[in-house]
């Protein structure tokens, strides 16, 4: 095959073709239907089928005519954290060229791997690999990372755990599930399993964990009626498996993955079927599978199945993941679910933002309703509900909710927001939810100010912040990422000896000026003050993009510009401007923070969040800010610990590093161009429509 040839996998399954990032998982250039073979300059690598589905037979027959190998695909053991368990945006996939792990009738690549002692020599001899697998094991159990992660942690009902009796868990499964049909289980086996659990533990409390789909009537199980006949209680809630397993003493299972998760928790497991973890000496097996001849530890089973056998792929960037990277991503989702595990009422939030806000505040243990501010009293039925509002517009200190003692979270755009202006209704890829105030309000504290005053950064956090700074600089990221990128010679006319000052304008009715300025309160005041204090400097003025776009207030008169400014740069990337200057002067603009990242001198005339920590020259001070911070500490608190980040396309919570990579890549593909007024209005309409209909 020529080095430059493209490779393709072929399948009749439209479901496989719709899996996001499927080519990244498989390492091919395209996944195509067989009808397109020979019509494109692609080298056929394999045919694809999904597990043991009956619909796969057509693909198998076609593959035989083409002399192509068949790759069996299946979900990995950590699939998603989305509310839709069948989302096409999956974290992991199993690719098996021999069989498939849940089919006990024939070997699989996983079974073959487990049968060979030499495959585990590295785990036994390489300390780094052993520590890595142990760390992944501990993270999964400690953070309750399972297959479908949009589920709550909860205590078992008190009636299940009352007294000193041991608790025996019997796991039901959905009828005719592939792992049941191909894993040696039958209807009679499920009945035998329940009766054995009762007979073998006469002094224990036996409970049956049934599937939520059975309770909802979407599917049938095997044990619901039998449990009722035997007066065995049913646990039907959608609770995280690890949360349940840690509260029981022994598990009886057919072929469910939950049985292996019980092993990871150190629980004894009795098996009535033949799942992938049966027959290796770590379970009480009621059926035998002679092909499995080796003895394996739980750690070896975990290494083989979760690490060696499974492929992981970042749902946003498409990069290949390690097992630990996938686990860490799920932990990030779960951390945000935990932050959101409460009842929210969104107050006065504009309709186009509501679906985005809902995604930011989603949780399997939470709820969110929206209301106009005048309807709050009627809507706030739950006295513990948290009111969420956009900055200070709908709820101020005099509002009845504040007086009643309801907790109020104030929301605002994050510091790496989007590719496009907020005033053009571009989707926000980062938001802050502040329980104390907001970062731009210098009159009171905020969660960010509390972090900067009190959080002691670890060495790992300092290193992370340093790497993040380098990444942001290399990708040339700013808050909105707009403006032309023509490498302009912004200060080319300045005298060689002159200090080059960049003055950054702002939106004059912006809350950051109202809450962050004292004597210099507008763009004209700023320019006059800077010129007065720096009469010999060369001053370049960059107005705010929203002002240039005509969306917001803040234009400076020609008279003031002529008297104070040597050069004007309107449609120029702010990063180009910062790179070219010696100093940046601002009231409260985020550009001052972006200049600090690039080791520029910054002079503030208001009180932005980044002033008062020993990194800027400040016209005003705040006594509350009592600590000297390094740049890395400021960056960690501001960009990592404080905001929340969301990938708009997938709806996944992401890290700031993920956002920088994805936005930076998008900028490289789409060069910004000057937009006429009509084009901007069309963009606004499209963005509003996307917000109103947003559904990742």
Starting at the edge strand that comes first in sequence, how are the strands of the sheet with 320-321 ordered? 30-32, 6-10, 42-50, 70-75, 92-96, 310-313, 320-321
Indicate if the pLDDT at residue 491 is higher than 90.
Answer: no
| Token digits of residue 329 | 């991503």
What integer is the mean pLDDT of 672-692?
Answer: 73
DSSP, collapsed to helix, strand or coil, labels residue 457 as: coil
Mean pLDDT computed over every residue of the chain: 90
- Distance between CA 224 and CA 245 in Å, rounded? 20
What integer is the mean pLDDT of 468-496?
Answer: 78
DSSP, collapsed to helix, strand or coil, labels residue 248 as: coil
Burial of residue 417 (number of CB atoms within 10 Å: 0-12, 13-18, 19+)? buried
DSSP, collapsed to helix, strand or coil, labels residue 295 as: coil
Indicate if the pLDDT at residue 273 is higher than 60.
Answer: yes
Query: Hey, do 120-313 and 454-654 end up sharing a CATH topology, with the first three levels equal?
Result: yes
Within 27-126, where are the H helices?
Answer: 56-66, 109-114, 121-125
- Distance between CA 263 and CA 241 in Å, rounded? 12
- Which H/E stretch holds residue 618? strand 617-618
- Distance between CA 307 and CA 323 in Å, rounded? 6
Contact 139, 131 (CB under 8 A): no
Which residue, among 217, 215, 226, 214, has the nearest Cα to 188 in the 3D structure? Answer: 226
Contact 77, 305 (CB under 8 A): yes
Which residue, among 353, 352, 401, has the nearest Cα to 373 in the 3D structure? Answer: 401
Indicate if the pLDDT at residue 672 is higher than 50.
Answer: no
Could you write out the DSSP letters of every residue in 350-369? -HHHHHHHHHHT--TT-EEE
- Distance between CA 83 and CA 89 in Å, rounded? 12
What is the structure's pLDDT at 633? 98
- Which H/E stretch holds residue 170? strand 167-171
Q: Phi-psi category of 425—alpha, beta or left, where left has phi over 0 and alpha has psi -120 to 50? A: left
Whole-Å CA distances, 500 to 92, 497, 595, 596: 52, 9, 14, 16
Contact 122, 129 (CB under 8 A): yes
What integer is the mean pLDDT of 278-299?
Answer: 97
What is the structure's pLDDT at 404? 75
What is the structure's pLDDT at 90? 95
What is the structure's pLDDT at 585? 97
What integer is the mean pLDDT of 52-68?
Answer: 90
- Distance between CA 588 and CA 258 in Å, rounded? 53
What angle in degrees, to the nearest 10, is found between the helix axes of 257-264 and 127-143?
Answer: 110
Contact 566, 494 (CB under 8 A): yes
Tell me the percentage of the chain whose pLDDT exceeds 70.
93
What is the structure's pLDDT at 509? 87
Tell me the percentage of the chain whose pLDDT exceeds 90.
73
- Which H/E stretch holds residue 300? helix 298-302
What integer is the mean pLDDT of 519-531?
Answer: 95
What integer is the mean pLDDT of 287-291?
Answer: 97
Within 144-286, where are the H helices?
Answer: 158-161, 178-181, 187-200, 212-215, 224-229, 241-245, 257-264
What is the structure's pLDDT at 673? 42
Contacts of residue 110, defined as CB under 8 A and 6 or more positions apart, other chains included, come to 96, 101, 276, 304, 305, 309
Whole-Å CA distances, 200 to 170, 268, 527, 650: 12, 14, 84, 47
Q: Cα torsion for 661, 663, 666, 672, to the nearest 10°? A: -140
pLDDT band per the 50, 70, 90 thresholds, residue 325: very high
- Distance between CA 296 and CA 123 in Å, rounded? 12
Per-residue pLDDT reduced to its tens digit, 339-394: 999 999 999 899 999 999 999 999 999 999 998 766 665 556 567 889 999 988 87
- Distance between CA 19 and CA 2 in Å, rounded? 28
In this structure, which topology does domain 120-313 adopt according to CATH?
A: Rossmann fold (3.40.50)
pLDDT band per the 50, 70, 90 thresholds, residue 547: confident
User: Lowest-pLDDT range, 76-80, 185-189, 393-397, 663-667?
Assistant: 663-667
Per-residue pLDDT reduced to its tens digit, 100-111: 999 999 999 999
CATH of the domain spanning 454-654: 3.40.50
Per-residue pLDDT reduced to its tens digit, 202-237: 999 999 999 777 766 778 999 999 999 999 999 988
Indicate if the pLDDT at residue 57 is higher than 80.
Answer: yes
Q: What sign results for the dihedral spanned by CA atoms 611, 615, 619, 623?
A: positive
Contacts of residue 629, defined as CB under 8 A and 6 or more positions apart, other chains included, come to 452, 613, 614, 615, 637
- Distance between CA 610 and CA 501 in Å, rounded? 19
pLDDT band per the 50, 70, 90 thresholds, residue 635: very high
What is the structure's pLDDT at 3? 46
Contact 71, 48 (CB under 8 A): yes
What is the structure's pLDDT at 669? 41
Indicate if the pLDDT at residue 75 is higher than 80.
Answer: yes
pLDDT band per the 50, 70, 90 thresholds, residue 37: confident
What is the structure's pLDDT at 212? 72
pLDDT band per the 50, 70, 90 thresholds, residue 684: confident
Contact 224, 211 (CB under 8 A): no
Indicate if the pLDDT at residue 77 is higher than 80.
Answer: yes
What is the structure's pLDDT at 670? 42
The residue assigned the tokens 């009626």 is 225
What angle in degrees, to the nearest 10, is found between the helix axes of 351-360 and 677-692?
Answer: 50
| Token digits of residue 505 | 């304008």
Domain positions in the chain are 6-112, 120-313, 454-654
What is the structure's pLDDT at 169? 98
Burial of residue 57 (number of CB atoms within 10 Å: 0-12, 13-18, 19+)? exposed
Q: How is residue 115 annotated by DSSP?
A: T
What integer is the mean pLDDT of 243-250?
Answer: 96
Which residue would you say has higher pLDDT here, 54 or 523?
523
What is the structure's pLDDT at 481? 63
Q: How many CB atoms lie under 10 A from the CB of residue 617? A: 11
- Distance between CA 151 and CA 522 in Å, rounded? 49
Q: How many CB atoms lie under 10 A from the CB of residue 133? A: 19
Could you write out the DSSP letters of every residue in 624-646? T------HHHHHIIIIIIS-EEE
């Amino acid at each position: 095959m020529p080095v430059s040839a493209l490779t393709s996998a072929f399948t009749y399954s439209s479901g496989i073709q719709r899996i996001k990032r499927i080519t990244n998982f498989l390492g091919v250039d395209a996944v195509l239907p067989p009808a397109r073979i020979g019509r494109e300059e692609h080298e056929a690598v394999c045919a694809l089928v999904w597990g043991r589905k009956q619909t796969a037979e057509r693909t198998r027959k076609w593959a035989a005519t083409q002399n192509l190998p068949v790759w069996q695909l299946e979900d990995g053991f950590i699939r998603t954290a989305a509310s839709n368990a069948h989302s096409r945006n999956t974290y992991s996939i199993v690719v098996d060229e021999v069989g498939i792990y849940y089919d006990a009738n024939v070997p699989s690549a996983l079974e073959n791997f487990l049968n060979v002692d030499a495959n585990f020599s590295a785990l036994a001899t390489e300390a780094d690999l052993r520590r890595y697998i142990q760390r992944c094991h501990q993270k999964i159990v400690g953070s309750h990372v399972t297959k479908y992660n949009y589920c709550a942690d909860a205590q078992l009902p008190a009636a299940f755990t009352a007294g000193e009796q041991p608790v025996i868990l019997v796991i039901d499964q959905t009828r005719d599930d592939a792992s049941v049909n191909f894993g040696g289980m039958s209807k009679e086996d499920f009945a035998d399993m329940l009766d054995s659990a009762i007979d073998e533990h006469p002094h224990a409390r036996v409970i049956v964990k049934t599937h939520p789909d059975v309770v909802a009537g979407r599917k049938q199980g095997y044990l619901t009626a039998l449990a009722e006949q035997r007066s065995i209680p049913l646990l039907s809630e959608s609770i995280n498996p690890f949360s349940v397993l840690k509260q029981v003493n022994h598990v009886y299972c057919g072929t469910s993955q939950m049985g292996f998760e019980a092993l990871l928790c150190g629980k004894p497991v009795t098996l009535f079927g033949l799942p992938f973890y049966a027959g290796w000496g770590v379970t009480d097996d009621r059926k035998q599978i002679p092909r499995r001849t080796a003895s394996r530890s739980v750690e070896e089973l975990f290494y083989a199945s979760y690490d060696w056998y499974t492929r992981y792929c970042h749902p946003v960037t498409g990069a290949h993941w390690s097992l630990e990277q996938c686990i860490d991503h799920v932990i990030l989702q779960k951390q945000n679910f935990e932050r959101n595990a409460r009842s929210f009422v969104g107050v006065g939030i504009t309709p186009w933002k509501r679906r985005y806000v809902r995604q930011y505040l989603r949780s399997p243990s939470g709820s969110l309703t929206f209301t106009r501010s005048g309807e709050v009293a009627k809507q706030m039925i739950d006295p513990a509900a948290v009111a969420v509002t956009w900055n200070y517009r709908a709820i101020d200190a005099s509002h009845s909710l504040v007086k009643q003692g309801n907790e109020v979270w104030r929301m605002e755009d994050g510091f790496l927001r989007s590719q496009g202006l907020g005033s053009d209704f571009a989707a926000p890829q980062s938001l802050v939810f502040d329980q104390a105030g907001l970062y731009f309000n210098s009159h009171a504290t905020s969660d960010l100010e509390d972090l900067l005053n009190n959080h002691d950064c670890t060495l790992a956090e300092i290193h992370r912040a340093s790497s993040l700074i380098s990444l942001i600089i290399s990708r040339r990221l700013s808050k909105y990422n707009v403006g032309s990128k023509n490498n302009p010679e912004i200060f080319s006319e300045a005298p060689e000896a002159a200090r080059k000052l960049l003055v950054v304008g702002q939106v004059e009715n912006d809350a950051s000026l109202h809450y962050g300025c004292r004597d210099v309160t507008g763009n004209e005041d700023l320019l006059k003050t800077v010129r007065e204090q720096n009469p010999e400097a060369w001053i370049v003025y960059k107005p705010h993009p929203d002002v240039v776009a005509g969306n917001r207030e803040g234009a400076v008169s020609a008279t003031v510009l002529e008297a104070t400014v040597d050069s004007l740069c309107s449609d120029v990337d702010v990063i180009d401007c910062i790179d070219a200057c010696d100093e940046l002067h601002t009231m409260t603009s985020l550009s001052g923070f972006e200049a600090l990242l690039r080791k520029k001198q910054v002079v503030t005339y208001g009180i932005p969040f980044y002033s008062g920590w020993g990194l800027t020259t400040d016209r005003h001070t705040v006594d509350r800010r009592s600590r000297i911070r390094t740049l890395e500490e400021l960056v960690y608190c501001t960009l990592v610990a404080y905001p929340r980040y969301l990938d708009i396309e997938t709806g996944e919570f992401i890290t700031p590093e993920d956002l920088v990579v994805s936005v930076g890549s998008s900028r490289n593909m789409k060069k910004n161009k000057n937009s006429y007024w009509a084009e901007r209005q069309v963009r606004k309409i499209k963005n509003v429509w996307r917000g109103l209909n947003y559904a990742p």
